Chain A
Amino acid sequence: MAKKILIIDDSATVRQQVRKVLVDASFEVVEAADGVEGLDAIVGRQDLAAVLCDVNMPRMGGLEMLEMLNAKGRPAGLPIVMLTTEGQPALVQKAKAAGAKGWIVKPFKAELLLATIRKLAIMEG
C-alpha cells in the first residue's frame, strides 16, 4: 500500500509541485492550506507516513501547529518535516525541540525532498 504524505502549505502551487514529486515516486498525497487545516488532517488519524509543513502561513503557522499537536497528542512516531524559506538555526532548533524531524529550505530540490521523506517514512513505517 502506498505511503500517504500530508503537505501543508498556503501556496496551492507549492502543494501541487510537491504532490507531483511524491506521486511520481508512488506516494499518496493529502493537502492542507494552513496549520488549522493541517491540525484537522493529522489529529485522530493513523494512516499518514509523514508530513511536510510550511512555517509561515496565515491563520496558523507551522511551528504553532507543532505546539498544538504536542498539546493535543499527535499520532505516535509521525515524522514532520518543515518546508520553508526560513533558514535561521534558532528557528530550526525551535522546530526540532517541538518534535520536527527535518527541515528543507525552499526552493526544494526534488531528489533531496524525496530522500528525506523516504528516510523518515520508512524509519517510522
Chain B
Amino acid sequence: MKNPDNRPIDDLVFDCCRELFAAYELDVSPRDRSDFPATEELAVCGVMGFGGKSMRGALVLATTREPLEHTNPNGFGSQRDWVCELANQLMGRVKNRLVALGVEIHLATPAGLSGENLSPAPGKLRAPQVFAAANGFVCVWIDCEFMDGFELPAAPSPEVEPAIAEGEALVF
C-alpha cells in the first residue's frame, strides 16, 4: 500500500464536512492550518477507521466546545459521545461519495480519543483541515493508504446507483 496524493480525498472530506455542519445549520469556513486550536481546546476527538480492497485508513474529527454545543443545543449525552457521532456521520457521507466513485469501504464504529497535543504528526502526514465554526473550530483529517496502482476516480461511476441522500426517509 502507498500513501496517496491526498488532495482528491481531502477535497472530498472538505465538501462532506461543510455539508454535514450545514445540515445542523452551522456554516464552517476554511481557515489556515496555523489557526489549529491550542491543544487544551481540543480535549477529545472522534476517530472512524475504515477499510476496503482499494484503500484503508482513519478519519479524525476534533472540535472546540462551541460547534458541539451549536449542533447539539439541548446538550444531550457527553461531548465525547457527540463528537464520535459527528465523526460517524461525516465518515458516512465520505463513504457515500466514495461508493458513488465505485470505491467500496467498510466502516468501524466510532471511537473517542482524548489526550494532549492532538494533531497529525508534522512532516509525515498531511495537514488537517481547519474550519472556523460557531466562534470555535472544527478540525478534520483523513489518513489513508491506497493499494498499489489504485487512484481515486475523478468522477462518479454511471454504473453505481446513487446513495439515499442524508436526511431523507424511505417507507417501504
Listed in ascending order, the chain A residues whose CB lies under 8 Å from chain B are 10-14, 16-17, 20, 56-58, 84-90, 92, 96, 100-109, 112-113, 115-116, 119-120
Is A14 touching B85 in the complex (CB atoms < 8 A)?
A: yes
* Interface residue ranges of B109-139 to A (CB < 8 Å): 109
Measured CA separation A120–B72 after assembly (Å): 27
Contact B171 A119 (CB under 8 A): yes
Across the interface, do A17 and B167 meet the contact criterion of CB distance under 8 Å? no
Given A102-B171, A112-B169, verify A11-B164 contact (CB < 8 Å).
Answer: no
B57 vs chain A, min Cβ distance (A): 17
Q: Mark B20-42, 1 if CB is under 8 A from A, else 0.
A: 10011000000000000000000
Q: Interface size (B, Cβ < 8 Å)? A: 34
- Cβ-defined contact, B96 with A87, below 8 A: yes
Contacting residues, chain B, for A120 (C-beta < 8 A): 171
Of A89, A90, A108, A116, which contacts B167 at CB under 8 A? Answer: A108
Alpha-carbon distance A84/B74, docked complex (angstroms): 21
Q: Taking the nearest CB of chain A, how far is it from the CB of B27, in angstroms?
A: 16
Docked-complex contact B169 and A104, CB < 8 angstroms? yes
Partner of B168, one of A12, A88, A89, A105: A105
- Give B contacts to A, CB under 8 Å: 20, 23-24, 72, 74, 76-78, 81-82, 84-85, 88-89, 91-93, 95-96, 99, 107, 109, 161-172
| 21 A–B contacts, CB within 8 A, in A order | A11-B81, A11-B82, A14-B77, A16-B76, A16-B77, A17-B76, A58-B109, A85-B91, A86-B95, A102-B169, A103-B169, A103-B170, A104-B169, A104-B170, A105-B169, A106-B88, A106-B167, A107-B23, A108-B169, A112-B169, A116-B169
Residue contact A101 to B171, C-beta cutoff 8 Å: yes
A105 CA / B88 CA spacing, docked (Å)? 12
Decide: B76 and A13 in contact? CB cutoff 8 A. yes
Taken together as a complex, chains A and B put the C-alpha atoms of A26 and B167 apart, in Å, by: 23
Q: What separation, in Å, do the CA atoms of A16 and B99 have in the docked complex?
A: 30
Residues of A within 8 A of B109 (CB): 10, 56-58
What residues of A have a CB within 8 angstroms of the CB of B24 in the complex?
107
Given the complex, which residues of A lie within 8 Å of B84, measured CB to CB? 11
Rounded to whole Å, the gap between the CB of B67 and the closest CB of chain A is 14
Roughly how many angstroms separate A88 CA and B166 CA in the complex, as a whole number? 11
**Contact A12–B165 (Cβ < 8 Å):** no
Set of chain B residues within 8 Å of A106, measured between Cβ atoms: 88-89, 92, 166-167
Residue of B nearest to A90 (CB): B161
A102-B170 CB under 8 A given contacts A16-B77, A17-B74, A107-B24: yes
Which residues of B sit under 8 angstroms from A58, Cβ to Cβ?
109
Additional A-B contact list (12), CB under 8 Å, known A13-B72, A109-B169: A11-B81, A13-B82, A56-B88, A56-B109, A84-B92, A87-B164, A88-B164, A103-B169, A103-B172, A104-B169, A113-B169, A116-B169
